[in-house]
Amino acid sequence: MDGWLQRTAFPSIGGTFQPGVDHPANFELDLGLTDLPFAIANRRTETQQADYHARIGWLRSVSNIQNAFGVCSFADELAHINGRRPDEFLLDLIGPDRKIDPSQGDYKYGNYGETLEKFPIDTARLKNVLRRTAARADFDTDGGEGWGIAVHRSFLSYVGIATRVQVRDEQLKILQMHCVADVGLAVNPDRVKSQMEGAMIFGMSLALMGEIKMQNGAVANSNFHDYPLLRMHQCPSLTVELVASGEPPAGVGEPGVPPVAPSITNAIFAASGQRIRELPINKHLKIG
């Protein structure tokens, strides 16, 4: 691919702590946007003004959520435009095995406060996760069912999600969700798997129903009746595969969330031809 232009606009959490903040900050762009792992000859990232209107707090996985949704969704769109399987197209998009340093000129990549020598952006690890995730999916599924895939590096870990959905009569049902995670050395694998399972459930709640509504400058949601979470009957079967690794231990609390939403919406497109670019999904489909 010759060129990639990406623009983003969202209120920065920096506005919580100081006045006059009206653009996303560099440390927020570092969470899945400036560290784009694709082999693209020319790349440009632009921010747009987004005024701060209400106090902002931290959310699990922070800016990786919207950045991964945009990048992974667009990569899937490109795959279908080019008549390619999403995983095969992604492998080509990521390109050769290499270590990436996004720093250029005065811009210095933050890398979650760690050095790139100890925790490099390693495309070989990302591709390995992608291949293992794709092996769990059947991209030839039809009859109102489809698979979606997304991979993302965040908090120094590499996570892939493959999701199988059914779309019938404008109703969505998530049937399966598989996670493959390379988090470096997993000191307590059972706890790591639990974190990834929780991340998948949390990510589904956000993607399917997670809308915060504002009224007169305040949050209007008050409890679970108007801010629903994933119910037991809506939760699909979940599997987690941890990649055996001798690399230094990396994050496990947040990296499982970002690929969830794009894997679901990519699966919806595969099942129904409907491309969802605005979340939550219950604005477009009933949730089964």
Give pLDDT tens digits along the chain (288 positions).
899 999 999 999 999 999 899 999 999 999 999 999 999 999 999 999 998 888 888 899 999 999 999 999 999 999 999 999 999 999 999 999 999 999 988 999 999 999 999 999 999 999 999 999 999 999 988 889 999 999 999 999 999 999 999 999 999 999 999 999 999 999 999 999 999 999 999 999 999 999 999 998 899 999 999 999 999 999 999 999 999 999 999 999 999 999 999 999 999 999 999 999 999 999 999 999
Sequence-ordered strand ranges (E) for 2-120: 3-8, 42-47, 99-100
pLDDT score recorded for residue 183: 98
pLDDT score recorded for residue 78: 97
Residue 31 to residue 135: CA distance in whole angstroms: 27
Residue 123 to residue 93: CA distance in whole angstroms: 11
Residue 187 to residue 247: CA distance in whole angstroms: 11
pTM: 0.97
Instruction: Give the Å distances, CA to CA, from 119 to 67, 101, 114, 180, 183.
Output: 20, 11, 7, 19, 11
Tokens 């679901």: give the residue.
Answer: 264
pLDDT score recorded for residue 140: 86
Contacts (Cβ under 8 Å, ≥6 apart) of 240: 178, 179, 180, 181, 193, 196, 197
| Coil vs helix vs strand at 26 | helix
Residue 152 to residue 228: CA distance in whole angstroms: 26
Name the DSSP class of 282.
G
pLDDT score recorded for residue 141: 83
Is 112 within 8 Å of 27 (Cβ atoms)? no
Instruction: Give the Å distances, CA to CA, from 133 to 68, 128, 136, 259.
Output: 16, 9, 6, 12
Amino acid at 186: A
